[in-house]
Chain A
Amino acid sequence: MLKLQGVSYRYPGGAHETLHAVTLELAEGTITGLAGAAEAGKSTLCLVAGGLAPRVIGGTIVGDITLDGTDVTSWPMHHLAEHVVTSLQEPAGQLSLIADTVFDEVAFGPANLGLPPEEVVARSDEALHLVGIEDLRERDPERLSGGQQQLVVMAGLLAMRPRHLILDEPVAHLDAAGSRLVLEAITAIATAGTAVLMAEQRSEALATVCDSVAVVAGGNIVARGSPREVLAHPATIAFGIEELPEERLRRRLSKAGLDPDVVAAAT
């Protein structure tokens, strides 16, 4: 379990803190969602949880970050990477570009860890299977669609067998088909035991897969609860969060004087 307790973070040279006293828990096998408007601090929180901030981008951090009770704030990045991995926005920018095939791309992570060759192959095959892209094994990663590349990136991270996976806007740039592929894979990953933290602007995606959702605004976590509770709440619009489609429909029907409950019957 990865736990952040009272964590505040300031970017290097930043005038003020981007995150204020954030407390968050990622339990194995659960999918936690992060909702929030742009610039609310979702991406920063992902970077901090994954250890990339402050290690790779600098800045100052205050608070506790523990892994099963052990403080990890002083662990070097490559050590932390065996337990927590992060996927960023834009899959194309995360490809290593040194892999001829998807298999090689996925094997990059475990190979970096120096595992024996059979272990590297086994983990890569397992990751390809978990994410459902075995048929892409011999393809050139740069020639794939955005959704497929996102899956390749996730498989590459999973091949490291981390217990925690942090995803920053995994479906933001994907079409409906791509989103569906990725969300199905995320569910499979969590079912297999990984703890997932998923930041998304698209509320519908969060509503589909998350076990719980935290709302980030101005660097604070301002609300927490089940997806329905949080995302259907009227205050979410005030925080700049995208309204769920059925809520929008419900609201419009009420406004027009029609029966909003017909929506519940349909969904």
Chain B
Amino acid sequence: MSQAWLRVAGGLAVFALIAVAGMTALAGPDFDDALDTFTLAMVVAIPAGVVAYALIEYLQTRRLDSITRQFDTRTLVLMPVAMALNIVLGTAVASALKIPIYLDSVGTILVAALAGPLAGAATGFLSNVIWTYLAPPPFQSPFAVPFAIVAVAVGLLAGTFARWGWLRPRRGASGQQLAIGSALSVGALVLMTVIALRAWRIADEGRDLAPHADETAFVILGWAAMLLVAGTAIGLVVLLVRWRDLAAAYILLAGVITGVVAAFIAAPIAAGLFGGVTGSGADFVVAAFRQAGADLEQAVLGQSLISDPVDKVITFFVVYLILGAMATRTIARFPQGEYLLPLPDAEDVADRDA
């Protein structure tokens, strides 16, 4: 097992090194440039980290088993279905529903959970490429490809969380466990919101608000964000109480972390390439931020920090539901399936399929 840790540590080290080095080397004087630099650094650092991981494994074992294991025939057959799911759902939501979520990562996270982080990353990447170049007209989006790096990050994170057992059903948790779980995850949720807001505010300071900034719109937006956070927290507690499944807390955490990371990577892409709009319902939120006095990059980041965590939390829940509906033996045959099933000493593993 220490061999595996060495590989992961090596990959992470290379990733961190390039990310930090890239950002300090390229960073400009203010926050907006730092955002762009972050995305650029991610584009280089993430693949570099993966390559480093693979290299270390090759040097250790002369093979790439932990990677090829994730891409067995079963995964290769699931990936296209997952990719199509991403594209069909994503297109349906963007065109039919005018709500600020995307729902285009269900397939990515499903594959990441069942097969592993790299398989999930590959699913996300290929989905975006196909979405632009090969999807039939009703489903085609020429604007998906630049966001491929975001999908890669989502796949890597989701696969890692799944590997850590965060998507295991944990029914039969005692009232005490549920209470602690709720408290911890609500706490984490609040902490993350505070951090996100701080980051946004830092961007705010040092820039003159335009003379016609609308304070009211700003305040309303702030309240909307608070309500959203509160709503998610309440929703979580309700689920915990109703399902008595502690996994709800883990899923919330996974969704929020993935969402925040995705927001930071995606915002500069949307801002820099597309003037902050993606043709979905999220654009209204961007417009609102702009009206409140934010400049383009801040507005897009603000919108992303609202939409992405919510989108990812919903997506993780959807994936959890899909996994719940699959037969145990089907899940077990996937490379990472064992980490998605209840632990043997759990109360109701026997009647999971009942």
Q: Could you tell me the distance between the alpha carbons of A177 and B329 in the complex, rounded to whole angstroms?
A: 37
CA–CA, A127 to B354, complex, Å?
Answer: 45
Query: Across the interface, do B333 and A57 meet the contact criterion of CB distance under 8 Å?
Result: yes
Complex: A58 Cα to B332 Cα, angstroms? 10
Residue of B nearest to A14 (CB): B329
Q: Which residues of chain A have C-beta atoms less than 8 A from B74's C-beta?
A: 56
Cβ distance A11 to chain B, nearest Cβ, rounded Å: 7
The answer to whether B329 touches A11 (Cβ under 8 A) is yes
Q: Which residues of A contact B61 (CB under 8 A)?
A: none
> Do the beta carbons of B329 and A12 come within 8 Å of each other?
yes
Dominant secondary structure of chain B at its interface with chain A: helix
Residues of A within 8 A of B328 (CB): 13
Contact residues in A for B329 (Cβ distance below 8 Å): 11-13
Q: Is B73 at the interface (CB under 8 A from chain A)?
A: yes
Tell whether, in the assembled complex, residue A12 and residue B73 are in contact, meaning their CB atoms are under 8 Å apart: no
Interface bits B311-354 vs A (CB < 8 Å: 1, else 0): 00000000000000000110011000000000000000000000
Q: Which residue of B lies closest to A98 (CB)?
A: B80
Q: Is the CB of B332 within 8 A of A56?
A: no
Max count, chain A CB within 10 A of own CB: residue among B73, B328, B329, B333: B329
CA distance A110 to B10 in the complex (A): 42
A13 with B332: CB separation less than 8 A: yes
Q: Which residue of A lies closest to B328 (CB)?
A: A13
Chain B hits for A56, CB < 8 A: 73-74
Find residues 277-333 in chain B having any chain A CB closer than 8 Å to their own CB: 328-329, 332-333
Tally of chain A residues near chain B (CB < 8 A)? 6
Instruction: Enumerate chain B residues within 8 angstroms of A58, measured Cβ to Cβ.
Output: 332-333
Question: Which residues of A sit under 8 angstroms from B333, Cβ to Cβ?
Answer: 12, 57-58
A12 to B329, CA, bound (A): 8
Q: Please give, as numbers and ranges, the residues of chain B lying within 8 Å of A57 by CB-CB distance.
A: 333
Which residue of chain A is the closest to B80 with respect to CB atoms? A97
A12 to B333, CA, bound (A): 9
Please, what's the 1-or-0 string for A3-22, where 1 marks a CB less than 8 Å from any CB in chain B? 00000000111000000000
B238 to chain A, nearest CB (A): 34
Contacting residues, chain A, for B332 (C-beta < 8 A): 12-13, 58
CA distance in complex: A13, B350 (Å): 11
Q: Which residues of A from 61 to 88 have beta carbons under 8 Å from B? A: none
Q: How far is the CB of A96 from chain B (nearest CB, A)?
A: 10
Residues of B within 8 Å of A13, CB to CB, are 328-329, 332
Cα A13 to Cα B349 with chains together (Å): 12
With a CB–CB cut-off of 8 A, which chain B residues contact A12?
329, 332-333
Q: List the A side residues contacting B73 at CB < 8 Å.
A: 56
Residues 57-94 of B contacting A (Cβ, < 8 Å): 73-74
Closest Cβ–Cβ distance, residue A95 to chain B (whole Å) = 12
Q: Report Cα–Cα, A11/B333, bound state, in Å.
A: 11
Q: How far is the CB of B83 from chain A (nearest CB, A)?
A: 13
> Which chain B residue has the least Cβ–Cβ distance from A57?
B333
> What sequence of 0s and 1s flags, for each residue 46-60 of chain A, a beta carbon within 8 Å of any chain B beta carbon?
000000000011100
CA distance A13 to B333 in the complex (A): 11
Closest beta carbon of chain B to A98's beta carbon, Å: 9
Tell me, rounded to whole Å, the shortest Cβ–Cβ distance linking A250 to chain B: 42
Q: How far is the CA of A58 from the CA of B328 in the complex (A)?
A: 14
Chain B residues positioned under 8 Å from A11 (CB to CB): 329
B103 CB, min distance to chain A CBs, angstroms: 24
Nearest CB of A to B245, in Å: 22
Give Cα A11–Cα B73 distance, bound, in whole angstroms: 19
Docked pose: A58 CA to B74 CA in angstroms: 12
The answer for the CA separation of A57 and B329 in the assembled complex, in Å, is: 9
How far does the Cβ of B266 sit from chain A's closest Cβ, in whole Å?
Answer: 32
Complex Cα distance A56/B76, Å? 13
Least CB distance, B353 to chain A, in whole angstroms: 11
For the complex formed, measure the closest distance between the CB of A46 and the CB atoms of chain B, giving whole angstroms: 18
Q: Which residue of A lies closest to B74 (CB)?
A: A56
- Of chain B, the residue at the smallest CB distance from A56 is B73
Least distance between B29 CB and chain A CB atoms (Å): 52
Please provide the chain B residues from 28 to 81 with a CB less than 8 Å away from any CB of chain A in the complex.
73-74
Tell me the complex Cα distance, A229–B54, Å: 62
Bound-state CA distance A9–B329 (Å) is 16
- Give min CB distance, A29 to chain B, whole Å: 32
- Chain A nearest CB, measured from B214 CB (Å): 53
Smallest CB-CB separation from B341: which chain A residue? Answer: A13
Interchain CA distance A57-B327 in the complex, whole Å: 14
Instruction: Return A208 CB to nearest CB of chain B, in Å.
Output: 34
A188 to chain B, nearest CB (A): 31
Expressed in whole angstroms, the Cα–Cα distance for A56 and B74 within the complex equals: 9
Rounded to whole Å, the gap between the CB of A107 and the closest CB of chain B is 20
Give Cα distance in the complex from A57 to B332, angstroms: 10
Least CB distance, B334 to chain A, in whole angstroms: 11
Q: Shortest beta-carbon distance, A15 to chain B, in Å?
A: 10
A97's nearest neighbour on chain B, judged by CB, is B80
Task: Give the distance to chain B from A9, nearest Cβ to Cβ, in Å.
Answer: 14
Measured between alpha carbons, how far is A57 from B334 in the docked complex, in Å? 10
A58→B330 CA distance, assembly (Å): 11
Please give 9 more A-B residue pairs, beta carbons under 8 A apart, in addition to A56-B73, A56-B74, A58-B332.
A11-B329, A12-B329, A12-B332, A12-B333, A13-B328, A13-B329, A13-B332, A57-B333, A58-B333
Chain B residues within 8 Å of A, Cβ to Cβ? 73-74, 328-329, 332-333
Which 4 pairs between the two chains have the least Cβ-Cβ distance? A58-B333, A57-B333, A12-B332, A13-B329
12 contacts between A and B (CB under 8 A): A11-B329, A12-B329, A12-B332, A12-B333, A13-B328, A13-B329, A13-B332, A56-B73, A56-B74, A57-B333, A58-B332, A58-B333
